[in-house]
Chain A
Amino acid sequence: DTAVSQTPKYLVTQMGNDKSIKCEQNLGHDTMYWYKQDSKKFLKIMFSYNNKELIINETVPNRFSPKSPDKAHLNLHINSLELGDSAVYFCASSQGDRVRGTQYFGPGTRLLVL
């Protein structure tokens, strides 16, 4: 049973294209996140949704638009892809309260923009 799943696992595309990454969690959590891991392996928060409401937006270009249709899903749509968007994107989920808030990660989506 996969707790946090992402599709696709790999994405190769041309500059200027639009692409989406999907994330689903079956842990019953109310908070979901997108993190970006750059080529130097540094991980940084992009967005967080709590009960479908946007909580964190960390100065991410507005070409990136997250969407949470329900608590179990958080998708990431990227418009006009640029070379610098090449990275691994991780989805994570947690139960948002202070005590139980350990975050569990999906397998990551490796995006390569050519």
Chain B
Amino acid sequence: AQTVTQSQPEMSVQEAETVTLSCTYDTSESDYYLFWYKQPPSRQMILVIRQEAYKQQNATENRFSVNFQKAAKSFSLKISDSQLGDAAMYFCAYRRGGGGSNYKLTFGKGTLLTVNP
């Protein structure tokens, strides 16, 4: 079974600084997708960024980028120029690829990010 581990329960960063959130995963599959979701106090789950395992290039979305190390099964999220609105719980998630329709997300336990003014 796939597992996702987020080893940092909490992180903090100063406004305008850069922070990196860690995520490792375990899978025997070669075709899969990785995601970072953000959950602010409003509790809405918001997709931040997505990475296809078959792509070597790291995904980027504005101030958010990932460092995807497939051999090491590592998928970290870098937030540049942190803003107060980035404060949230961040979840790393795994989804298999392949055929069929069982595409459940397996989540890590989350990292609570605090942004200090």
Interface residues of A (CB under 8 A from B): 31, 33, 35, 40-45, 48, 50, 55-56, 58, 88, 90, 92, 94, 96, 98, 101-105, 107-108, 110
Task: Tell me the interface secondary structure of chain A in the complex.
Answer: strand
Q: A101–B43 Cα gap in the complex (Å)?
A: 22
The answer to whether A94 and B107 have CB atoms under 8 Å apart is no
- The answer on a CB contact under 8 Å between B104 and A45 is yes
Beyond A102-B50, A105-B44, A108-B44, is A43–B91 a contact (Cβ under 8 Å)? yes
User: How many Å lie between the Cα of A42 and that of B105 in the bound state?
Assistant: 12
Which positions in B face A, CB cutoff 8 Å?
31, 33, 35, 37, 39, 42-47, 50, 89, 91, 95, 97-99, 101-107, 109-110
Bound Cα distance A48, B101 (Å):
9
Q: Residue B110 contacts which of A41, A88, A105, A110 (CB distance < 8 angstroms)? A: A41
Smallest CB separation, B25 vs chain A (Å)? 15
Q: Kindly provide the distance from the CB of B60 to the nearest chain A CB, expressed in whole angstroms.
A: 16
CB distance from A100 to the nearest CB of B (A): 10
In the A-B complex, list the 6 residue pairs whose CB atoms are closest, starting with the nearest. A105-B45, A45-B104, A50-B101, A43-B107, A98-B97, A101-B103
Contacts of A40 on B, CB cut-off 8 Å? 109
- Are A88 and B43 in touch, CB under 8 angstroms? yes
Nearest to B91 among chain A residues (CB) is A43
Residues of chain A within 8 A of B39, CB atoms compared: 41
Given A31-B101, A50-B101, A56-B102, are A42 and B33 also a contact pair (CB < 8 Å)? no
Interface contact B43-A107, CB-CB below 8 Å = yes
Cβ contact within 8 Å between B107 and A31? no
Nearest chain A CB to B42 CB, angstrom units: 8
Q: What are 27 A-to-B residue pairs whose CB atoms are below 8 Å?
A: A31-B103, A33-B104, A33-B105, A35-B105, A41-B39, A43-B91, A43-B105, A48-B104, A55-B101, A88-B43, A98-B31, A98-B97, A98-B98, A98-B99, A98-B103, A101-B33, A101-B103, A102-B35, A102-B47, A102-B50, A104-B47, A105-B37, A105-B45, A105-B46, A107-B44, A108-B44, A108-B45
